[in-house]
Amino acid sequence: MGTPEFAVSILNSLLENVNVVLVVSQPDALVGRKKILTPSPVKVIAEKHGIPVFTPTKIREDYSEVVNAKPDMIVTCAYGQIIPKVVLDLPKYGCINVHASLLPKLRGGAPIHHAIMDGLKETGITIMYMDEHMDSGDIISQSKTLISDEDTLDTLSERLSKMGSSLLIETIPSIIDGTCKAQKQNEEEVTFGYVITKSDELIDFSKSTREVYDKIRALNSKPGAYFILDGEVIKVYESKIGSTKGEVSRINHIYKDGIGIGTEDGEIVITKIKPAGKKELEVKDYLNGIKGERLLGKKVNEKVDR
């Protein structure tokens, strides 16, 4: 049971090692400006391998196909819906979840985003038994990885996805033969990594330079952090920490390869952006198309009356 690209490697590993009798994924979604009805990445892989796919709108109400499949084990990874107890209790070897954090840290739907955004130095994968609550089941196994200053959402997601695939296949035999030693989570250490909202995407330049830098990395490439300039949304994909200090939320410097905006304790230099209605581009190329001096001194994130 899974939906996004992150879960594809999990499904591929299962296809190579066990008998997958059914794949459950979110319903096809409208994607892009043209609103094209598109299957989930997991559904695409399942259909490519001839595996039956079930896409209920609400698994809590519509789960008969799962019951009919008579699974020995259910594996979930970023499925996107709360699974009812009747399904959790169905398989002989339990319902197992692959979660992209070191639980009990960062329970929730966006643990990778928050690991970077929160400035964590390490994260990892947890294989756990599922229960009726969000990511609160007993931990079966874990694997750790360091988070570098150069990691983005994309690079860390790819690494964790591969780690999850390997750890799952290593762990399944111990679940089947009963040798795994599951441990309860320490509720006093719980933190959350809730799904990113539109308000989370807005860059707050009154924060420290480091916090701004981490937010930009955490949202690269989807959904992308942004700021508002002259009433227009400017998506930001890459930046670097500057060496000067200026007025907070003001464009204080124009460099050959970046736009320097003041933060609470210094400056963030924006180096890759996507202006509204345009393609993603390096700031040095953006500056070639306009007179950079025109931006100097402008405040960002100001409301503009129209």
What's the CA gap between 161 and 8, in Å, rounded? 8
Looking at this protein, which amino acid is placed at residue 71?
P
Under CATH, domain 198-294 is a member of which superfamily?
Formyl transferase, C-terminal domain (3.10.25.10)
Structure confidence by residue, pLDDT tens digits, 236-248: 999 999 999 999 9
Domain boundaries, the chain: 5-189, 198-294
DSSP 91-154: STT-EEEEESS-TTTTBSS-HHHHHHHTT-SEEEEEEEE--SSTT-SPEEEEEEEE--TT--HH
For the structural domain made of 5-189, what CATH number should be given?
Answer: 3.40.50.170
What pLDDT digit, counting tens, does each position of 94-138 carry? Answer: 999 999 999 999 999 999 999 999 999 999 999 999 998 899 999
For residue 10, which phi and psi values (nearest 5 degrees)? -65, -50
Return the ∠ at Cα 243 (arms to 241 and 249), rounded to 5°.
65
pLDDT single digits (tens) 166-213 = 999 999 999 999 999 999 999 999 999 999 999 999 999 999 999 999
Locate 228 and state its tokens.
């508002």
Give me the amino acid identity at 85.
K
